[in-house]
Amino acid sequence: QVQLVESGGGLVQAGGSLRLSCAASGRTFSSYAMGWFRQAPGKEREFVAAITWSGGRTYYADSVKDRFTISRDNAKNTVYLQMNSLKPEDTAVYYCARKPVFSMNWGSPYQYDYWGQGTQVTVSS
Mean pLDDT of 28-47: 95
pLDDT at position 28 is 87
Residue 43 C-alpha from the chain's centroid: 17
Distance (Å, whole) CA 30 – CA 74: 5
Q: Give the count of beta carbons closer than 10 Å to the beta carbon of residue 75.
A: 8
- Average per-residue pLDDT for the chain: 95
Percent of the residues in the chain that have a pLDDT greater than 70, as a whole number: 100
Instruction: Say if residue 25's pLDDT is above 90.
Output: yes
Reported as a pLDDT band with limits 50, 70 and 90, residue 94 is very high
Cβ–Cβ < 8 Å for 117, 47: no
